[in-house]
Structure 1
Amino acid sequence: MPPPGQVRMPDKDALKLRVRGLIDAHRIMIFSKSYCPFCRKVKDLFQSLGVEYSALELDKIDDGSSIQEVLLELTGQRTVPNVFVNGTHVGGCDQTFQAYHSGLLQKLLGDGKGEETEAYDYDLIVIGGGSGGLACSKEAATLGKKVLVLDYVVPTPLGTTWGLGGTCVNVGCIPKKLMHQTALLGQALQDSRKFGWEYDQQVKHNWETMVEAIQNYIGSLNWGYRVALREKSVTYLNAYGEFIGPHKIKAINRKGQETFYTAQTFVLATGERPRYLGIPGDKENCITSDDLFSLPYCPGKTLVVGASYVALECAGFLAGLGLDVTVMVRSILLRGFDQEMAERVGAHMETHGVKFIRKFVPVEVTKLEEGMPGKLKVIAKSTEGSQRIEGEYNTVLIAIGRDACTGNLGLEKIGVNVNEKNGKIPANDEEQTSVPYVYAIGDILEGKLELTPVAIQAGKLLARRLYGGSSIKCDYVNVPTTVFTPLEYGCCGLPEERAIEQLGQENIEVYHNLFWPLEWTIPNRDNNTCYAKIICNKLDNNRVIGFHVLGPNAGEITQGFGAAIKCGITKELLDDTIGIHPTCAEVFTTMEITKASGRDISQSGC
């Protein structure tokens, strides 16, 4: 019995008093569970802000579930984390981060009367002015945020540099496709005689004219990006960004002058740069794709080192311009892509004059003669023995892969985790790094596709989640892409090897066919070279899980089928689709032959 004159308080009322006491007694009170990843995420946020908090781990106390019931009555929320700041109920993980990105959390962290703990220079600073960074910054500005973009191109060993827009615009997709088109026009000239075009003039290609035209176009794009940023009131600085502490960076311009800026949120979009071989003479005597597209002279006889899509694309269009081209391959072509398709790409290139040296790697590149181009000697060794070979070339183009540009950003000073092997940054499915106010998009993200449209999509969606109340995340599955080799290779979904690995040979069906574009019949070239195949999941209504096409305009074909695969297209739906005749893409509506049948897929007409 309670002492005379006192009434025993019900347990629930006692718990309410206890909960309210905890909320009133602590600047930040988090009702949490020790194993909850969302609770951990919220704690990391306050820790990154340098703000002390108190957490009650409900799974560690006997009356934890009862306290959750009290919280439900007080706030309408039973789940954890349940966050209170200066007595104000903020909510769970998502609500806390929304309050942080809107600035409400900072106001609550003041004296509770609307004063912020710190006034940042910018709401958002984006480090990197490539496709992803520009997309994110413009979207954030459209949503009313104050944004700064830092972009600085470290010159190549040969001194090549470029303007705003990143790899794709300056030394990637755009000039690559235009040089690919140059080579296709050369092939079209040859074909045209068979269609009745008569001309006596000697046809030859002028490298300088092509480069000047392409660089003029790229220059217009650089200017357009600057104008677009200005129109959206985004501040742009041609400077290198480096973290010097939480929420603070140092910007260094070309003259070495330093300025300092703070921001509530940061997005890293620094992209990648080509990797060098690490052998004598590579940086002094070789070029990469960073140099090729603005090279002021024709490269002449060229050795391309590598078998990446960059290597094969460059080798392809250089050969298409009439140059003597050799590709030196360490192991396989187009690692990560369907290997049957990769070998067909290589075979077509070989048929059209590109030479391949398989299973060799360079060990030294020395200069024999100066010039534009000069002359180089390459010594290479076998990957399977002690054999060595030598060769002389005018130009050596290294295309063995790319490394993430994260090494000099000062990320270690603020605790952003980085994969030491490749410089890539691990992040969650919202592109958030190990530091809650720092995000990463584009090629530097670990385990994600290195494609321009992916970076653009991720950048836009990130800005909308941060500032527009959206919850939509970037979908990195079934992204279509195309390799612009002389015979283009488009794909979406799984390579055949990966499909077998994931589902087992017995659970997939592969339909395939060779086809002959009508445009190629009159010139009578490359019959039974173009190839199409789809990979179907027998366990899921023969849904198409892999799409592959080798032929002209493969990019245009793949884009449409990419949308269909996103919608879950099946083999039956493909069969029910009426094709457009005469096109290359119609082959996918008439496929009947499976690989398992072993039937002949050779074609004799259109």
Structure 2
Amino acid sequence: RLSAPQSTGESPPSLSHRPRRRTRAAAVGTGPSPRKNEYDLLVIGGGSGGLACAKEAAQFGRKVAVLDYVEPSPQGTIWGLGGTCVNVGCIPKKLMHQAALLGSALKDAQHYGWNISQPVHHTWSVMAQAVQNYVKSLNWGHRVQLQDKKVKYFNVKGSFADPHTVRGLTKAGKETVITADNIVIATGGRPKYPTDIAGAREYGITSDDLFWLKESPGKTLVVGASYVSLECAGFLTGIGLDTTVMMRSIPLRGFDQQMASLVTEHMESYGTKFLKRCFPTKVEKLKSNRLQVTWKNADLNKEETDSFDTVMWAVGRAPDTKTLNLETIGVKTNSETGKIIVDASEATSVPHIYAVGDITEGRPELTPTAIAAGKLLAQRLFGQSSELMDYDNVPTTVFTPLEYGCVGLSEEAAVQRHGSDNIEVYHAYYKPLEFTVAERDAAQCYMKMVCLREREQRILGLHFIGPNAGEVIQGFALGIKCGATYPQMMKTVGIHPTCAEEVTKLHITKRSGLDATVTGC
């Protein structure tokens, strides 16, 4: 990932002074020598996809280099090797989500006989320090792995000089020139700031900053309805902060919308405030150092204001391509999204230049898909493999307070692809056993299985909202990848008492109109 300067202060050796190897033809003055490139593979971007590709290529005994540089966020946040997921994404997010779940568990514990002295108080700085220390250990681990695999690491910001040459600049402005036979672009994305809102960039933060804050963000406004927005708002509420989500339109665009509504309903019932169909127009700093936000409420057609300690933008991500100089070497991008256009083999419009991960057009922005695509690419380049990445039926989970896991098609996508008459949806509202003694509301604990209606009833999609959604969906994802059918699922014996077993007992169809609430066992 083309991103932030590491604070290692290291200065990679300059390669530009090395003499080019001259051929005999060149020696006798018959023109310039054909240059031998220094590396078999150069990966630009030290995130999940780039590192996986580089390490896999090194296993084949190839000479490999990785370039990584983290541009500081507008608020000045920097981090180390490992990309978004490790530093400002999945890893710190899941740990802070866990902090919030522990808060809920403390409330439940009293129903189970635990005496917990009141009031319970959360200290942001203790959590943040522990999370940040763990992330730093991962940065170090990635450095060591590259060294062990003899992959050369350059902490420089790269841009193409020609299709085989990348010019790198250190933080101090020292130049390094690197040449390679094959180049993989894996620079990922960074959060977008709105460009039309006064004070947005000046006073707002993004997920790039939230996980590295030393002090509590306090009363927070999260703008956006993406999974990043809802996950962050969810754990901020869970650790006791006054949190509001402002969303212009629908939550979790691209996900099943019935599930998305249940996710936000649960968040509302647990204290996250939602400003629906609202969009901010300006952010101003008050004398008190608080931020006053003005927004337009589309439903009431009026302007409203409130003040917050922190405003966090979660309005999407943009590919990190600006400094790469792609136009000059002819790498085609989608003019609307800025993402690199690749074929099924991750190849760009320029031979020997490839791209993997979030920077590629039409791919899921998920760490495991970037890792898998990066490994397979290295195997095709250097290991006599022809296997392509399969982007169908990739499972994922949104780590909101009540988690939402899914694999395959949403109900809307299935209907659009096959027609509603050809789709059968089995569904259930269930109550996790853990919720019973704790008297927790399970109104949003719901699952549905979207199947083809024909005789075999192949499963097209599975959606689950409830505790440990990722752990539940992972196993079922294998079955769906293997073409599992509804009758096969019904022959699968559930593990009792679990939430996952309810999937093996789904029998009420939406079409029937019957009550889908699970009663008894």
TM-score for the superposition, normalised by structure 2: 0.92
Please list every run of at least 4 consecutive aligned residues from structure 1 whose deviation after the TM superposition is greater than 2 angstroms: 199-202, 382-386, 602-606
Q: Deviations over 1:270-321 (max 9, x none)?
A: 0000000111111111110000001111011111100000000000000000
Give the AA of the match of 1:273. Answer: R
* SS of equivalent residue, structure 2 residue 79: coil
Q: Distance in 2 between matches of 1:296 and 1:160?
A: 11
1:285 partnered with 2:200: no
Which residue of 527, 534, 548 corresponds with 2:442? 527
CA distance in 1, matches of 2:315, 2:177: 37
Which residue of structure 1 lines up, in the alignment, with residue 502 of structure 2? 587
User: How is 1:517-556 mapped onto 2 (pairs within 5 angstroms)?
Assistant: 517-539=432-454, 541-556=456-471
Q: Is the 8 A contact 2:406 2:462 kept in 1?
A: yes
Please say if residues 443 and 449 of structure 1, whose CA atoms lie closer than 8 Å, have aligned partners that are also in contact. Answer: yes
| Counterpart position of 2:392 | 477
Contact 1:509–1:537, Cα closer than 8 Å, also in 2? yes
Q: Is the 8 A contact 2:163 2:353 kept in 1?
A: no
Distance in 1, Cα, partners of 2:458 & 2:423 = 10
Contact 2:85 2:367 in 1 (8 A): yes
Q: 2:343 aligns with which of 407, 428, 432?
A: 428
| Distance in 2 between residues matched to 1:498 and 1:544, nearest whole Å | 13
Name 2:360's counterpart in structure 1. Answer: 445
1:343 aligns with 2:258: no
Match of 1:238 among 133, 143, 155: 155
Query: Which residue does the alignment assign to 2:219?
Result: 301
Report the 3-state secondary structure (helix = DSSP H, G, I; strand = E; otherwise coil) of the residue aligned with 2:354. strand
* Aligned twin of 2:164: 247
Residue 457 of structure 1 pairs with residue 359 of structure 2: no
Which amino acid is 1:342 matched to?
Answer: A
Partner SS for 1:381: strand
Structure 1 CA distance, aligned partners of 2:484 and 2:367? 25
TM-score (norm: length of structure 1)? 0.79
2:230 counterpart of 1:312: yes
SS of 2:323 mapped into structure 1? coil
* Shift in CA distance, 142/342, structure 1 to aligned 2, threshold 3 Å: same
Q: 1:565 aligns with which of 480, 497, 510?
A: 480
Higher RCO (CA-CA < 8 Å; seq separation 6+): 2
RMSD (Å), alpha carbons: 1.4
Matches of 2:107 and 2:372 in 1, distance apart? Answer: 40
Question: Aligned partner of 2:270: which letter?
Answer: H
Distance 1:310 1:369 in 2: 30
Is the radius of gyration larger for structure 1 or structure 2? 1
Report if aligned partners of 1:326, 1:354 keep a CA contact under 8 Å in 2: yes
Match of 1:265 in 2: 182
Counterpart of 1:367 (choices 285, 290, 302) is 285
1:86 maps to which residue? none
Q: After the TM superposition, which of the residue ranges 327-336 and 377-386 deviates more from structure 2?
A: 377-386
Identical aligned residues as a percent: 56
Structure that is richer in helix per residue: 1
Query: In structure 2, the residue corresponding to 1:431 is in which secondary structure?
Result: coil
Aligned partners of 1:433, 1:135: CA distance in 2, in Å?
19
- Report the equivalent of 2:29: none
What is the alpha-carbon distance in structure 1 between the residues aligned to residue 469 and residue 301 of structure 2? 41
How many residues align? The count is 490
Which stretch of the first structure deviates more once superposed, 316-325 or 523-532?
Answer: 523-532
Aligned residues of 1:124 and 1:266 also touching (Cα < 8 A): yes
Residue in 2 that maps onto 1:7: none
SS at match of 1:408: helix
- Alpha-carbon shift at residue 239 of structure 1 (Å): 0.6
Q: Report the alpha carbon displacement of residue 425 of structure 1 after superposing the two structures with TM.
A: 0.6
**Per-residue CA distance 1:502-535 (angstroms, 9 max, x = gap):** 0000000000001111011001111332001000
- CA distance in structure 1 between the partners assigned to 2:345 and 2:229 by the alignment: 32
Q: Which residue, 54, 65, 74 being the options, matches 1:148?
A: 65
- What runs of 5+ residues in structure 2 fail to find an aligned partner? 1-22, 27-32
**Taking structure 1 as reference, are residues 156 and 235 closer, same or farther at Cα in structure 2, changes over 3 Å only?**
same
- Any gaps of 5 or more consecutive residues in structure 1? 1-106, 111-115
- Counterparts of 1:298 and 1:229 in 2: how far apart (Å)? 35
- Check the 8 A contact 1:528/1:602 in 2, yes or no: no
